[in-house]
Amino acid sequence: MSDRLYIFDTTLRDGEQVPGCQLNTVEKIEVAKALEELGVDVIEAGFPVSSPGDFKSVEEISKAVTWPTICALTRAVENDIRVAADALKYAKHKRIHTGIGTSDSHIRYKFNSTREEIIERAVRAVKYAKSFVEDVQFYAEDAGRTDNEYLARVVQAVVNAGATVINIPDTTGYCLPWEFEQKIRYLMEHVDGIHNVRIATHCHNDLGMATANTISGILGGARQAEVTINGIGERAGNTSLEEVVMALRSHKELNIDTNINATKITGISRLVSSLMNMPVQPNKAIVGRNAFAHSSGIHQDGVLKNRESYEIIDPKDVGIDENSIVLTARSGRAALKHRLHVLGCDLEKEALDKAYEAFLKLADRKKEITDDDVLMLAGAHREQH
Ligand code: KIV
Ligand code: ZN
């Protein structure tokens, strides 16, 4: 049996922090229900103390959703924690996510504090959150730039105080994959009782390594991944849910899997993109418009002979009917023949050769050839023949 990776989705909290991506409560409920159908384990529904709207959304999502744990973010501040507990009162399964910055830069410039004082504040926050809920997750903000020895002391203190999940964010997207794996491994080896809690990765994509770092963290021992749909989030974004899920599915030898129903991935990607008015880049892994589109002749020929020549994922597995063979000036005869066949227009060899010649001329003028163009070419050459 494979090891279970818990998926913590923060589309509605870290993802929604992106300027222009704000959703109203009704829209957030729609996304939360889609996340529940997708099979995520935890939905981070918001930061209740930040605004009455966020409070309301956490409250309403708590009522609307049944299976996933609903999580609310706080700073290590008593009032934040009290408000979060109130917003979560209707949740069937609830978690408070509290924490504080642990890197020297955060300690010095954000908090004008000391390492010892930060540990005391972290412990106080966890104990206070525990007085409201059993499930308390602690985040060590900027853990990516926190030295491992001090980080282990912070983690030891909050584990002793009763935290159930320890989140190790690479807040600034600074780490390299091997470094992040070592960080998680270091905690696994140096914190007493770490095996009784769950370590989470929370990676940002500033260097384009969020997914690589998340997978590395999982290899190091983390068993919760914090992700967003389409990788939306502050600056260059968060780790993409779809990339982590499909990387694990594609590498069965890792023997780690999630509860995600991957066939729902494309649908929720489109939903989040349209509600948040945030287009997905065409070449985005898994959910981009071109993720399963083949345009060069050699690739098209290979895929038509056997899909696996150029595809490591069956598009059906992520909810797409089939790959697309895009007809351009780089397409080969096999691609044209295939499209003609799909459109119900099989041509004899000679007619196909003629149609292909005309197709190349047309494709040099137009960027992409449509089905209407193909039908027009077929008609002209079938008649001539
Ligand atoms: O990136 C980060 O450090 C966060 C924390 C608040 C968990 O989003
Ligand atoms: Zn974050």
Q: Whose CA is nearest to atom 1 of ligand 1?
A: 171
Query: How many angstroms is it from 204 CA to the middle of ligand 1?
Result: 9
* Ligand 1 atom index nearest CA of 167: 7
**Closest ligand 1 atom, CA of 73?**
6
> Residue 276 has what pLDDT?
95
Give residue-wise pLDDT tens across range 199-218: 999 999 999 999 999 999 99
Contacts (Cβ under 8 Å, ≥6 apart) of 230: 240, 242, 269, 272, 273, 278, 280, 284, 287
In this predicted structure, the answer to whether residue 144 has a pLDDT above a threshold of 60 is yes
Is 363 a residue whose pLDDT tops 80?
yes
Ligand in closest contact with the CA of 167: 1
Between helix 115-130 and helix 78-87 the angle, nearest 10°, is 30
Model confidence over 154-165: pLDDT tens digits?
Answer: 999 999 999 999
Q: Which two tokens stand for residue 9?
A: 């989705």
Q: Is the separation of the CB atoms in 107 and 118 below 8 Å?
A: yes
Q: What is the DSSP string of 148-161?
A: HHHHHHHHHHHHHT
Share of residues in the chain with pLDDT > 70 (%): 99
Other Cβ atoms within 10 Å of 203 Cβ, number: 32
Nearest ligand (C-alpha, residue 165): 1
139, 168, 213, 235: residue to mutate for ligand 1 pocket, most atoms within 8 A of CB: 139
> In the numeric block, which tokens belong to residue 376?
């027009």
Q: Is 362 helix (H, G, I), strand (E, B) or coil?
A: helix
Spell out the residues 6+ positions from residue 332 whose beta carbon is closer than 8 angstroms to its own.
297, 298, 300, 301
Is the confidence at residue 327, as pLDDT, over 70?
A: yes
Report, as an integer, the average pLDDT of 15-31: 94
Kindly indicate the confidence band of residue 382, based on its pLDDT and cuts at 50, 70 and 90.
Answer: low
Residues whose beta carbon lies within 6 Å of some atom of ligand 1:
14, 139, 141, 167, 169, 171, 202, 204
CA–CA distance, 8 with 120 (Å, rounded to integer): 27
Q: What is the ipTM, given to two decimal places?
A: 0.99
> What is the model's pLDDT at position 323?
81
pLDDT-derived band of residue 140, with 50, 70 and 90 as boundaries? very high
What DSSP state is assigned to residue 92?
S
The confidence score (pLDDT) of residue 379 equals: 83
Question: Which one-letter amino acid corresponds to residue 89?
Answer: K
The reported pLDDT for the residue numbered 2 is 84
Q: Per this entry, what is the length of the chain? A: 385
Asked if pLDDT for residue 383 goes beyond 60, the answer is no
Work out which ligand 1 atom sits closest to the CA atom of 10: 8
3-class SS of residue 232? coil
Could you give the dihedral angle defined by the CA atoms of residues 4, 188, 250 and 32, in that order, rounded to the nearest 10 degrees?
50
The reported pLDDT for the residue numbered 384 is 55
Per-residue confidence (pLDDT) for residue 297, from 0 to 100: 86
Q: How far apart are CA 135 and CA 137, in angstroms?
A: 7
Residue having the nearest C-alpha atom to atom 2 of ligand 1: 171
Distance (Å) from CA 291 to ligand 2 centroid? 26
Least confident residue range of 106-120, 200-214, 311-325: 311-325
Gap from CA of 222 to ligand 2 centroid (Å): 17
User: Any idea which ligand is nearest the CA of 234?
Assistant: 2
